[in-house]
């Protein structure tokens, strides 16, 4: 079936629009946090995998960091292991950590690797334990005690934070044209495993590699203003003001915290995107309009480059 002249012109226009972005980002590292609905809907999984393969083929260096909360919950339920949450974090004892490691480092990680490879990519799955990539320390959580105003320290077990990133294994994989797919499990003193929030891992990896962009795929269309409209561009100062005034709250707060840390750590731009839009990555990276919210240290000039 042939295409009309209009369709052909549209395709040519899309490719022409993409060209300056391909030139500008050639050889740059992009760290993508993959999670939420984009991870569980089959059509979106395939669109994500194709996007990642295309990024690699046009000369960018994508690195994928994934979550897997719902999948962990499902397996714990099937194994009759009870789950407790404190301040939104799963209390992770030995038995739970074994399941977390099986699900994140095994099932979910290898599903993503297989999917990218099925679309013609060369993905390699690793966890933060491989090559000592993510050195973790135990996360201590405090909350107000029941009787007093003195904060109570809660032991959430094998939940950690990133102490440091040792990126040699990533550099080796990228140099050999592989696409690293990272499960957010870190290694602590004595070789213990720690489950770490995937946004935090993505942010720290992006910082350590001096990534051009950190892209957080979410279930929302970006950072929303008080009327529920997406704000396409924000600076670090804008975000601080929106947090102070309560416009950015609840579920978006950890994302914007992660974004600000990455910007302060040298990442050029952070994108918060709706992963439920098919081909969200391509639309964001290669089109003038983009989608979602881009956060930079300084205001962005017409050419899309941060001023200053």
Look over the chain and give the mean of its residue pLDDT values, rounded to a whole number: 90
Query: Is residue 19 a part of any domain in this protein?
Result: no
Q: Residue range 276-280: average pLDDT?
A: 92
What is the pLDDT confidence band of residue 307, given thresholds at 50, 70 and 90? Answer: very low
Query: Is residue 208 a part of any domain in this protein?
Result: yes
Query: Is residue 48 a part of any domain in this protein?
Result: yes
Q: Give the global pTM.
A: 0.91
Predicted local distance difference test score (pLDDT) of residue 202: 97
Tell me: the pLDDT tens digits for 13-56?
Answer: 888 999 999 999 999 999 999 987 788 889 999 999 999 999 99
Query: Is residue 39 a part of any domain in this protein?
Result: yes
Q: How many Cβ atoms are within 10 Å of 258's Cβ, its own excluded?
A: 24
CATH of the domain at 101: 3.40.1160.10
What is the pLDDT confidence band of residue 78, given thresholds at 50, 70 and 90? Answer: very high
C-alpha distance from residue 102 to each of 75, 97, 106, 108 (Å): 10, 8, 5, 9
What is the pLDDT confidence band of residue 308, given thresholds at 50, 70 and 90? Answer: very low
Predicted local distance difference test score (pLDDT) of residue 186: 96
Q: What is the domain range of residue 44?
A: 24-296
Query: Is residue 11 a part of any domain in this protein?
Result: no
Query: Is residue 12 a part of any domain in this protein?
Result: no
Predicted local distance difference test score (pLDDT) of residue 152: 63
Q: Residue range 187-216: average pLDDT?
A: 95
Tell me: the pLDDT tens digits for 148-164?
Answer: 566 666 678 898 999 99
Does residue 103 or residue 307 have the better pLDDT? 103
**Beta-strand pair 179-183/151-154:** unpaired
Query: Is residue 6 a part of any domain in this protein?
Result: no
Number of compact structural domains in the chain: 1
Tell me: the pLDDT tens digits for 114-152?
Answer: 999 999 999 999 999 999 999 999 988 776 666 556 666
Whether the pLDDT of residue 92 is over 50: the answer is: yes
Whether the pLDDT of residue 271 is over 80: the answer is: yes
Lowest average pLDDT, out of 92-101, 171-180, 181-190, 237-246, goes to 92-101
Query: Is residue 85 a part of any domain in this protein?
Result: yes
């Amino acid at each position: 079936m042939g295409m009309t002249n209009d369709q052909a012109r549209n395709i040519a226009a899309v490719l022409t629009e993409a060209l300056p972005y391909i030139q500008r980002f050639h050889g740059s590292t992009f760290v993508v946090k993959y999670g939420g609905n984009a991870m569980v809907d089959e059509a979106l999984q395939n669109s994500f995998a194709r996007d990642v393969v295309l990024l690699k083929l046009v000369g960018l260096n994508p690195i994928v960091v994934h979550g897997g909360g719902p999948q962990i919950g499902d397996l714990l339920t099937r194994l009759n292991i009870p789950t407790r949450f404190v301040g939104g974090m799963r209390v992770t004892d030995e038995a739970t950590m074994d399941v977390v490691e099986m699900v994140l480092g095994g099932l979910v990680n290898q599903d993503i690797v297989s999917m990218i490879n099925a679309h013609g990519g060369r993905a390699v799955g690793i966890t933060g334990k491989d090559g000592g990539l993510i050195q973790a320390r135990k996360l201590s959580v405090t909350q107000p005690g029941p009787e007093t105003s003195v904060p109570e320290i809660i032991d959430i077990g094998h939940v950690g934070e990133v102490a440091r990133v040792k990126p040699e294994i990533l550099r080796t994989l990228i140099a050999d044209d592989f696409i690293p797919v990272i499960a957010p499990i870190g290694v602590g003193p004595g070789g213990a495993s720690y489950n770490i929030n995937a946004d935090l891992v993505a942010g720290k990896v992006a910082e350590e590699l001096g990534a051009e962009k950190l892209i957080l795929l979410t279930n929302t269309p970006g950072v929303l203003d008080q009327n529920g409209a997406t704000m396409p561009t924000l600076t670090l100062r804008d975000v601080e003001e929106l947090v102070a005034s309560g416009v950015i709250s609840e579920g978006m707060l950890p994302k914007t915290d992660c974004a600000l840390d990455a910007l302060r750590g040298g990442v050029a731009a952070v994108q918060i995107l709706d992963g439920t839009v098919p081909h969200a990555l391509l639309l964001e990276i290669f089109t003038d309009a983009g989608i979602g919210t881009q956060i930079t240290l300084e205001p962005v000039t017409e050419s899309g480059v941060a001023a200053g």
